[in-house]
């Protein structure tokens, strides 16, 4: 049996932990650049706000109802997430962290699972201050679905165990939602399913495999099986090594100047290299992409991407910086209003798997240098020192983040003072 535990409106709930005055108030959290709404609370949904909407399109609703608006604060959410996962891990033999706000827990060998679900929920609330819901079932897809129902149906009090349902109630549970609420079925697939008469999760679970095989990608059959309680998707407690590492940002305004682009690209390259080392990985390819504003139809569109093979596995900042810089010179076209730029590392391996003999003196120097930079920045704070190839003086492209909350849990200067 598996549990799927997730924090409700996670980013907004993190903000509420330090702003108890907002407990029953509508709250939204924005994407980078304060662009779109990415998380909203129940109260905000009730006002008609939706995930993915650009803020400027709903400013009137926000003002009229005094919706609390926050810029994204990943430092805070990341730290709160780590605390939540640690709390959950203390209950189960193994967990699979699926995203920043949710994880699967393997409940093998445990008994009284419904009571356990309530206990987990209770403890996350008491220790972390985040409201969470728990779905329990014999497959991951059903656990996700039970979690969804637990969130949707107030009478469940946040926990639903599939095994507590009679066969008849299971059918009802599967028939009461649209098929796109199933994990792995999005908008496109569901509208194709609709045309074949598959409207609910129950319909999907009862569809003939021949039909599914003929009309949909192969993983849809696995999804349908999982809805029938047959395990088809593995539990993966240890994450497989990532295939790509991307750092990119949209700019607050239009960018024309090559040096501004260079500034963005070198910062992304430096950051990507740092994360690579943090995860004890190495990469064989560096890629760069730049693109103009896709929402502007009156100016010429331009998007370009290129990759170079480094010929060896690296994770030192100088090599990755040099590669990214070279690529930018290759891709840059004059006269384009750029809106986004990013760096992609691929051909990724674990440090342990690379052959140390291949490393010459030069790369050893670069490795040592990067290591020392990490040490200093870890000790004295992010960006204490930086590589000179990273042009940090250019602010033209900086992202907008006007409504960011303090880093309550990760910076001493931001810790709340409580007065009695």
Q: How far is the CB of 23 from DNA (least distance, A)?
A: 22
One DSSP character per residue, 187-220 reads: HHHHHHHHHTT--SHHHHHHS-HHHHHHHS-THH
Q: Which residues bind DNA (CB under 7 A)?
A: 6, 31-33, 35-36, 38, 52, 54, 56, 98-102, 144, 180, 182-190, 217-219, 240, 242-250, 252-254, 275, 293, 295, 305, 307, 339-340, 342, 399
Question: Could you tell me if 30 and 403 are in contact, meaning their C-beta atoms sit under 8 angstroms apart?
Answer: yes
Q: Which residues contact 121 (CB under 8 A, 6 or more apart)?
A: 5, 132, 133, 134, 158, 159
Who's near 138: CB < 8 A, 6+ residues apart?
Answer: 1, 2, 162, 163, 229, 231
Identify which of residues 98 and 387 has a Cβ nearer to DNA in the complex.
98
Closer residue to DNA (CB): 108 or 350: 350
How far apart CA 61 and CA 57 sit, in angstroms, is: 9
Residue 47 DSSP label:
T
CA distance 247 to 270: 10
Distances (CA, A) of 81 to 103, 124, 290: 10, 11, 32
Residue placing its CB nearer to DNA in the complex, 111 or 243: 243
We find the least distance from the C-beta atom of residue 295 to DNA, in angstroms, to be 4
Name the minimum Å distance from CB 360 to DNA.
26
Which of 54/138 has CB closer to DNA? 54
Least separation, in Å, of the C-beta of 70 and DNA?
Answer: 14
**How large is the C-alpha radius of gyration of the chain?**
24
Q: Which is nearer to DNA, 129 or 347 (CB)?
A: 347
CB of 109 to DNA, least distance (A): 27
Beta carbon of residue 153, minimum distance to DNA (angstroms, whole number): 18
Nearer to DNA, 41 or 248 (CB): 248
The SS3 assignment for 132 reads strand
* Closest CB 24 distance from DNA, rounded Å: 24
Count of other CB atoms within 10 angstroms of residue 335: 8
Spell out a b/e string for 257-273, using b for 16 or more CB atoms within 10 Å of the CB, else e: eeebbbbbbbbbbbbbb
Strands in 81-211 per DSSP E: 94-99, 102-106, 132-137, 159-161
Which is closer to DNA, CB of 210 or CB of 416? Answer: 210
Shorter beta-carbon distance to DNA: residue 170 or 340: 340
Please state, in angstroms and as integers, the Cα–Cα distance from residue 409 to each residue in 74, 167, 376, 383, 419, following that order: 11, 46, 21, 19, 18
- Shortest spacing between CB 4 and DNA, in angstroms: 9
């Amino acid at each position: 049996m598996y549990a799927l535990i997730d924090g409700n409106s996670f980013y907004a709930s993190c903000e509420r932990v330090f702003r108890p005055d907002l407990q029953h108030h509508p709250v939204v959290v924005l994407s980078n650049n304060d662009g779109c709404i990415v998380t909203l609370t129940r109260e905000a949904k009730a006002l008609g706000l939706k995930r993915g909407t650009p803020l400027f399109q709903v400013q009137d609703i926000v003002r009229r109802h005094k919706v609390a608006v926050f810029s994204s604060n990943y430092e805070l959410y990341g730290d709160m997430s780590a605390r939540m996962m640690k709390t959950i891990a203390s209950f189960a033999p193994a967990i699979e962290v699926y995203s920043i706000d949710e994880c699967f827990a393997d409940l093998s060998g445990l008994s009284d699972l419904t009571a356990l679900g309530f206990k987990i929920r209770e403890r996350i609330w008491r220790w972390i201050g985040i409201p969470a819901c728990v779905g329990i079932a014999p497959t991951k897809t059903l656990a996700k679905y039970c979690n969804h129902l637990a969130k949707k149906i107030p009478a469940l009090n946040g926990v639903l165990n599939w095994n507590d349902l009679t066969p008849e109630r299971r059918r009802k549970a599967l028939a009461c939602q649209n098929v796109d609420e199933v994990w792995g079925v999005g908008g496109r697939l569901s509208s194709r399913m609709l045309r074949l008469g598959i409207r609910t999760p129950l319909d999907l679970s009862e569809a003939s495999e021949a039909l599914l095989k003929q009309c949909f990608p192969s993983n849809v059959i696995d999804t349908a099986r999982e809805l029938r309680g047959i395990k088809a998707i593995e539990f993966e407690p240890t994450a497989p090594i990532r295939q790509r590492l991307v750092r990119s940002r949209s700019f607050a305004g239009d960018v024309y100047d090559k040096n501004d682009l260079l500034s963005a690209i070198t910062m992304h390259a430096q950051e990507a290299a740092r994360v690579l080392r943090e995860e004890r990985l190495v990469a064989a390819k560096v890629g760069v992409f730049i693109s103009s504003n896709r929402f502007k139809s009156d100016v010429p569109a331009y998007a370009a991407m290129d990759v170079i093979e480094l010929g060896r596995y690296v994770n030192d900042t100088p090599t990755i910086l040099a590669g990214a810089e070279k690529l930018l010179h290759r891709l840059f076209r004059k006269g384009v209003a750029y809106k986004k730029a990013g760096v992609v590392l691929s051909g990724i391996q674990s440090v342990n798997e690379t052959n140390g003999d291949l490393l010459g003196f030069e790369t050893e120097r670069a490795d040592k240098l990067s290591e020392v930079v990490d040490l200093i920045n870890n000790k004295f704070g992010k960006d204490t020192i930086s590589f000179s190839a990273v042009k940090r003086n250019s602010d033209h492209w900086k992202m907008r983040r006007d409504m960011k909350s303090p880093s309550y849990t990760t910076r001493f200067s931001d810790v709340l003072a409580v007065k009695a």
